[in-house]
Structure 1
Amino acid sequence: MSSLGLGVNIDRRMTAHAKSALAAARYARFLLRPVLASRLPTRTRLGIYKTYVRSRITYAAAAWYHLIPQVMRVKLQAQQNLALRTIVGAGRYVSNAVIARDLDVESLEEFIRRLARNLYERADGGPHEHLHN
């Protein structure tokens, strides 16, 4: 296993980095639980989640997310689901899809696809020809 200078752990299936991202997201969610469950406005709590938790899950994800096993993708999505459930104070009977829809939050997979699409479009349209296509 090797590590890029920016904190991405490279291995055959990228599981080392996915596990690291999962642990970082769990820890951030644990530390922020009082804030996410507070009486702050929902949009504020959602912004805090996106800034401090989701950013840990999706750091450099355009490069590694498609390489990780499905089981790791499910675990990463579960961290988002748990955070959103905490933000709205929803019980077990409310589905994750309903919570995400009501908060207008896309799934991690959709979010990462959008990030990757934007990255590739900027590279194709940029002045550096070696990054085109």
Structure 2
Amino acid sequence: MQKLLELLPAWLDQWRMAVNVGKTAALLTGLKRIMPPPLKLRGSDIEWQSQVTYLGCRIDRSLRMVSQVNHVVSQAKMARAMLRPVLTSRLPLRAKLSVYKTYVRSRLTYAAPAWYSLCSPAQRSKLQVQQNVSLRVLTGAGRYVRNDVIARDLQIPSVEEFVVGLARRMFDRADHGPHRHLQNIAPLHTRPPDATGRPLPRDLLSDPTAEIEMPVQTASPAPQNTDDIPRPRFRVIPARP
């Protein structure tokens, strides 16, 4: 790594680029406790960090993405709190769903195709809880209405299904696009059955339990009497005239 850093200044000068060494950090993944000597760039030391932020994503040494999950959950909570008057208003349900998708879910799944596969089941459940709370707030559903019933009636996929869809579209555009350096990016490597390595981003696409199944709204037969009419699952506030 140090040999590559020694070649970097000449390349930067050739392309007239500058690097702020003071804002440059180094990250060594793994469980190694004894850190190697600090790296040097243009005569300045680059200190080893236990966590770095790259393109808005927080990456720690263990690659468990704990800091990233906590950050996006905090951002989603903040956005939902600021938009609570809108989510609980008399706006049409479709408009409130658009607000949730634009301002809350976008923060909850920011760059998720790159880091979601590294999350543990507990962290994935933590992300799903934020969506469940948001959908319950905007529908005004009672406490005895199940979360899966709300999501099914609103035709909203789970967070994992949504991230899998994002990852599939991202890899499809990269693999079939005109840019060769993006084709087959983050490939799916075959591993022996007893291998215990970190999951890869494309592992999301090979998970058979993560297929997206959107409910299809079909026409129901007319009820014979009033007893056959199903009761509403949750209360929907009508729009103002």
Considering the TM-score relative to the shorter chain, is it more than 0.5?
yes
Which one of the candidate residues 54, 57, 63 is aligned to 1:8? 57
Q: How far, CA to CA, are the matches of 2:73 and 2:110 in structure 1? A: 11
Q: If the length of structure 1 is used for normalisation, what is the TM-score? A: 0.96
Q: Deviations over 1:45-83 (max 9, x none)?
A: 000000110000000000001101211111111110011
Residue identity matched to 1:8: C
In terms of fraction of residues, the more strand-rich structure is 2
Which one of the candidate residues 53, 60, 66 is aligned to 2:104? 53
Partner SS, residue 91 of structure 2:
coil
Partner SS, residue 94 of structure 2:
helix
Q: How far, CA to CA, are the matches of 1:37 and 1:75 in structure 2? A: 23
Count of aligned pairs between the two proteins:
132
Structure with higher Rg: it is 2
Q: How far, CA to CA, are the matches of 1:75 and 1:118 in structure 2? A: 24
Which one of the candidate residues 171, 174, 179 is aligned to 1:123? 174
Q: If the length of structure 2 is used for normalisation, what is the TM-score? A: 0.54
Residue identity matched to 1:50: K
Gaps of 5+ in 2: 1-50, 185-241
Residue identity matched to 1:62: P
Deviant stretches of 4+, over 2 Å: none
In terms of fraction of residues, the more helix-rich structure is 1
Is 2:172 the counterpart of 1:113?
A: no
Identity %, equivalent residues:
56
Partner SS, residue 81 of structure 1:
helix
Partner SS, residue 156 of structure 2:
coil
How much does 1:130 deviate? Answer: 2.3
Q: How far, CA to CA, are the matches of 1:97 and 1:7 in structure 2? A: 31
Q: Which residue of 2 aligns with 1:66?
A: 117
Q: Which residue of 2 aligns with 1:23?
A: 74
Q: How far, CA to CA, are the matches of 2:154 and 2:100 in structure 1? A: 12
Gaps of 5+ in 1: none
Q: Note the aligned Cα RMSD (angstroms).
A: 0.8
Partner SS, residue 83 of structure 2:
helix
